Amino acid sequence: MKRLFTILLCLSMAYVLTAQENSKQREVGLVFSNFDNFGISYKTGTKRSMWRYNTLVVRGDNNTEDGDYEKITRNNTGFELKFGKEFRRDISDNLEFRFGADLSFRYRNIKYENESKLNSVVMLKNNSTVYEPGLNLVLGFNYIVNDNIVIGAEMLPFVRYSTGTLETRNRTYSGNSNTYNDVESDISGFKYGLSNSSVMLSVAYRF
């Protein structure tokens, strides 16, 4: 009877531990890199394995310098979406190691125009539009402040393929007149590595 009781007790403890291990866990929070790129993060899964959904705003600004003779416009917009999987292992009661991978897509548009107010002609122009699908690894840590608050840091070594166009307008002088030449170039190629923007910090609410 004692042996049967011991076996039942061990099975019950194993079941409880497994249930805790596989219980649903969710996290929603803020992420930022390079201290000027911000986004939101949502994760769902179990204590050991979670799906990752990240939206990171790369940049968004629009500046105009309106003078007496010329108007200069600078516009920089972009965003990045990531979807992936991460796995977790306990290091101590308040520290977790994380590893995994993400699929990503990044869009960027950078525009510069210098327009003459005397004759309403765009004298200089630089406009680039880039699309970047990619893949990054995830290597990071979680510090568990309490049952609900988690602070994270992760490195994201990446490889991306960039494709897009660059439109430029150059001004040349010929006698007393100006000539404007428009050139459109293809900008494509692979990028890989680890930069300061590849290190991401996060603050999340766990529930």
pTM to 2 decimal places: 0.76
46 φ/ψ angles, rounded to the nearest 5 degrees: -120, 180
Q: If you average pLDDT over every residue of the chain, what do you get?
A: 86
Q: Is 182 helix (H, G, I), strand (E, B) or coil?
A: strand
Residues 6+ apart with CB under 8 A from 22: 46
Q: Which amino acid is at 126?
A: N
9 Cβ neighbours under 8 A, 6+ residues apart: none
β partners of residue 204: 29, 150
- Cα(46)–Cα(165) distance, integer angstroms: 43
Nearest alpha carbon to residue 94 among 42, 24, 150: 150
Distance CA(132)–CA(78), nearest Å, equals 11
160-197 pLDDT, tens digit per residue, is 999 999 999 877 776 677 788 889 999 999 999 987 66
Question: In this structure, are residues 158 and 138 in contact, taking their beta carbons and an 8 Å threshold?
Answer: no
Domains for the chain: give ranges and CATH numbers. Answer: 24-206 (2.40.160)
Q: Are 124 and 169 in contact (CB under 8 A)?
A: yes
Position 15 scores a pLDDT of 44
User: Smallest Cα–Cα separation from 99: which of 48, 137, 60?
Assistant: 137
3-class DSSP assignment, residue 47: coil
Q: What share of the chain has pLDDT > 90, as a percent?
A: 57
